[in-house]
Amino acid sequence: MDSLTLMEATIRQIRPPQDAFRRRCQARWDSLCKPIHGLGALEDLVSQIGAIQQTEQPDISKAEIVIMGADNGVVAEGVSQCGSEVTAQVLRNMARGDSTVCQMARFRQAEVIAVDIGLNEPAESPGVLNRAVRRGSGDIRTGPAMSRQETLQAIGEGIRIVQKRKAQGCQILIPGEMGIGNTTTSAACVCAYFDKEPEEIAGPGAGLTKEGVRHKAEVIRDALRVNRPDRGDVLDVLSKVGGLDIAGMTGLFLGSAAEGIPAIIDGLSAALSAYIAVRLAGPVRDYLIPGHLGTEPGDRILMEALGLAPPLRLGMHLGEGSGAALLLPLLDEALYVYRNLPHFGKCGIEAYKPLC
């Protein structure tokens, strides 16, 4: 099946979660010996997962973090603190379990899957899944990042990965990225989609100085002028000023919704991919779980556009799906309470009633 046909079939497969199970989960929360909605957003998230999984007993024991690794040609314009060679090295480290998100995953007993969706050179590591669409994207300051067909291919690879992870029992997914320069491509996409000035959206990424951020904004302005992305065509923007990592994660979000798997959003690039997926298929929105709000200006704009309020605001700008990974232990605790807290009758306390 070609990538466009696969994407269209995946979109047709997506159905809204079962709201009846959300109501049943919330009714159970309200029957437990605690103030109504006492755990706030954690109750809502558990109920949302129940609706997605179509059960009153949600289970996220098997969590997986899929990292889409790709190089971005715009790094040649000096928009990053380090060079493109770091992307492949970090992916190799992930394959050995030696990156930040791998430590988080080990603590929580989640699995990390490192994917080459478009490195400049092959990672040459047996632990890195090779799904490269092309070897690095183009420099968006001088031309498009990739063709529309390559964008569709990257989305298709993301979908196929989720299909395989579902068959392996994945119950909750974190789409993550590793791509030096992708805060520049992500910011360019945000500017195009929301008609924002580059100076509003360009952020420090992994550690640019104020002068570096000003230069980054200039590069984004040039990219938008040269490529003239059509904000009404979601894939045109992604193809012209985005990246393979963003496209691959878009496929992960689409695939998760189609397979009935909740997906936690990480920072800017993941939030952008989630937004693109929702633009392609509105019902994806109900499968999204906000993780954390990062420091990049575009992250807030994307979360507001999605109508999501990330529960974690820790000033993070690490990437790798790390902010989303931090939500997993909190969800685990919430689920433990959900399963084990006694009902009011057992505690000898009169049930709380909703305040009008």
Q: Which residues are catalytic?
A: 320
Contact 177, 245 (CB under 8 A): yes
Reference 335, options 110, 108, 64, 56; nearest CA is 56
Reference 235, options 178, 131, 313, 150; nearest CA is 150
Distance CA 205, CA 285 (A): 26
> In whole angstroms, how far apart are CA 44 and each of 50, 292, 345?
10, 16, 23
SS3 69: strand
Distance CA 83, CA 77 (A): 11
Reference 274, options 295, 237, 299; nearest CA is 299
Distance CA 290, CA 217 (A): 27
3-state helix, strand, coil split of the chain in percent (to 5) is 55, 10, 35
Pairing of strands 111-118, 63-70: parallel
Distance CA 1, CA 288 (A): 27
SS3 96: helix
Question: Within 10 Å of residue 151's Cβ, how many Cβ atoms?
Answer: 31
Q: Which tokens hold the place of 253?
A: 């979000």
Chain position carrying tokens 């040459």? 124
